[in-house]
Amino acid sequence: MTQKIRPRHPEKVKNPINPIKKKPEWIRSKLSNSKEFFHTKTIVNKNNLVTVCQEANCPNITECWSKRHATFMIMGDTCTRACAFCDVKTGKPGKLDDLEPIKISQAVKKLNLKHVVITSVDRDDLEDGGSSHFFEVINQTRKTNPNTTIEVLTPDFLRKGEAYKKVLEANPDVFNHNIETVPSLYLKVRPGSRYFASLELLKNAKKINKNVFTKSGIMVGLGESKDEILQVMDDLKSAEVDFLTIGQYLQPSVKHFPLDRYYTPQEFEELGAIAKAKGFLLVSSSPLTRSSYHADEDFAKLQQNRINIH
């Protein structure tokens, strides 16, 4: 007896929502199989730590980990927001790990980091958005590693009042919060965030601590216009942001926000030159630029540029 093959129902076939465009040659990340890469991986795994390098599928992970550079992501691997560009999973986060400050500080020591970047998922479920946890991680890391400079990449602490002040109370060397995209795309790309709230956070951080380096980043390739990018630069400059990063948006999957186009290396050079002309203390603009990419080298440049100005 011949078995009947049932036709597939078109409505049940999961077609790609946003097909991923083929990457140009200049977007290829560097591969590495060095001992240092696996050394970094071992330390991260043994301490049960979360890194944005892994969770956000960063294209620079092999290069950075081969240099023992890892960006730690605190407060778990589950975000309460659902940004359309981000590869970090969304859902209900678990309880905070009280031992995380110690784990981070020990990992920084084992990796012998001169500069460390600490970021986090959004924790809208917490009364203070996780600012007290940031405070503990920064303090413990500095206590264990007194010669290590500390950079934080924070959420926006939206609707958490002045909770962000707790992070600045710990006196990080760099306070980073990414603006991510232009205002016209916010409701589609960052539906849980507000453009002017992010600007205000950066502006207030500098008001509270004139000595802290403030930093922000924008992705390009989501459909923004050049004029919109230049307006974001002006807005960030008005907020007294010191360091601007500009990088290419890479669509993580067919379910994420669609990539509009790839910018050429020449276009990144032009945007970088414009940003420098606007007066930023430091600008990093390239296809693979990310918030924590070459953060240690960039921090040294920030310090030198500030000295040169004064």
Using the predicted structure, report yes or no on whether residue 245 has a pLDDT greater than 80.
Answer: yes
As a whole number, the mean pLDDT across the chain is 86
pLDDT digits (tens, 9 = 90+) for 157-198: 999 999 999 999 999 999 999 999 999 999 999 999 999 999
What pLDDT was estimated at residue 68?
54
Using the predicted structure, report yes or no on whether residue 6 has a pLDDT greater than 90.
Answer: no
In a 3-state reduction of DSSP, which class is residue 179?
coil
Cβ-based neighbours of 81, under 8 Å, separated by 6 or more: 90, 122, 124, 190, 192, 193
CA distances from 162 to 44, 129, 159, 166, 201 (A): 32, 10, 9, 8, 10
What gap in Å lies between CA 183 and CA 200, rounded to an integer? 14
Note whether residue 7 is domain-resident: no
Higher-confidence position of 12 and 181? 181
Are 181 and 307 a contacting pair, CB within 8 Å? no
Class of residue 277 by CB neighbours under 10 A (exposed 0-12, middle 13-18, buried 19+): exposed
What pLDDT was estimated at residue 199?
98
Note whether residue 23 is domain-resident: no
Note whether residue 138 is domain-resident: yes
What gap in Å lies between CA 16 and CA 238, rounded to an integer? 41
Note whether residue 70 is domain-resident: yes
Note whether residue 175 is domain-resident: yes
CATH of the domain at 218: 3.20.20.70
Note whether residue 16 is domain-resident: no
What pLDDT was estimated at residue 170?
97
Nearest to 111 by CA among 51, 167, 56: 51
What pLDDT was estimated at residue 169?
97
Number of structural domains, the chain? 1
What pTM does this model have? 0.86
Using the predicted structure, report yes or no on whether residue 153 has a pLDDT greater than 90.
Answer: yes
What pLDDT was estimated at residue 259?
95
What pLDDT was estimated at residue 61?
55
Using the predicted structure, report yes or no on whether residue 222 has a pLDDT greater than 50.
Answer: yes
How much is the average pLDDT of 145-158? 96
pLDDT digits (tens, 9 = 90+) for 86-121: 888 899 999 999 999 999 999 899 888 899 999 999
Note whether residue 25 is domain-resident: no
Class of residue 75 by CB neighbours under 10 A (exposed 0-12, middle 13-18, buried 19+): buried
Q: Could you list the residue range(s) of the whole structural domain that residue 181 is in? A: 30-309
Note whether residue 151 is domain-resident: yes
